[in-house]
Structure 1
Amino acid sequence: MFDVINESAKEFASSLGAQLTECNEKNLRGYVSKISISGDENYDIYLVLPKDKLDLVSELFFGDTEYDVDDLSNEIANLIIGASKVKALDKNIKFDISVPEFLGEYKSIDYDNMYCFKLNGRDFYILLKER
């Protein structure tokens, strides 16, 4: 599952004209959006997006940093996980995705795997919890 999410995250970064690299940071902070997938694989997927990452995306998408945090956070989650669904179909992995749910600022989440990425020097995280 992570392979298709990783590919989708890199494509999202590329669409912004940015470079995405993996990192080993464990300093989780930021706003959280959750999408659940159900089907051949069942996970809750959490994107943890720090404010500076949201600012960067807003500036690149809209030309300014005036935005609704929950809408932008959910939209990024939807873009990445929605693209993952399409990629998974190419690998004969079928699942449905839920509507993104904004959970607010990161406090604590029980997860099985954490992936850290840097987008133009800004960290963001994808957490997976198998259901």
Structure 2
Amino acid sequence: MFNIIKEAVKNFMDSIEAKADECNEEVKEGFVSKISISGDENYDIYIVVPHEKLSYIANYYFGDDSYDTEDLTKEIANQIIGNAKIVAQKRNVSFDIGVPEYLGEFDKNIEYDDILSFKFNGDKCFYILFKGK
């Protein structure tokens, strides 16, 4: 599943003309959306994006940085995990995607089993957390 998500992140970042390099950083901050997948793979996936990077994405999508944090955070989760579903299907892996849920600012009490972290355009990291179901 990790390679599928990595490819989906690369595709998402390419779509917004940004670069993502893996980093080995624990979650520090950001706004969180949770999205569940079920089928051949079963996870709750948490996408954690720092405020500054939400502003970059809003500027790219809308031409300014006035945005609704909840809507934008959920849309990012939809974009990444929706693309992961396409990548997975090409690899004969099938899963359904739930509706993203906005959780607000990152809370260190979120339980997860694994993490992928990516530097966004060479600086602040964003994170994808996995909790098996």
Q: How far 1:24 moved relative to its partner? A: 1.1
Pair 1:12-2:16 in alignment: no
Q: What TM-score comes out, normalization by structure 2 length?
A: 0.95
CA shift digits 1:27-59 (9 cap, x unpaired): 421110000000011000000111001011001
Pair 1:97-2:88 in alignment: no
Identity across aligned pairs (percent)? 53
How many pairs does the alignment contain? 131
Maintained 8 Å contact 1:28/1:125: no
CA shift digits 1:57-100 (9 cap, x unpaired): 00111111100000000000000000000110111111100011
Tell me the equivalent position of 2:120: 119
Pair 1:39-2:31 in alignment: no
Cα distance in structure 1, aligned partners of 2:49 and 2:20: 14
Alignment gaps of 5+ in structure 2: none
Cα distance in structure 2, aligned partners of 1:42 and 1:74: 19
User: Which has the higher mean CA deviation after the structures are superposed, 70-79 or 15-24?
Assistant: 15-24
Dislocated runs of 4+, deviation >3 Å: none
Q: What TM-score comes out, normalization by structure 1 length?
A: 0.97
Cα distance in structure 1, aligned partners of 2:34 and 2:106: 11
Q: Secondary structure at the match of 1:65?
A: coil
CA shift digits 1:7-40 (9 cap, x unpaired): 0101111111111100011142111000000001
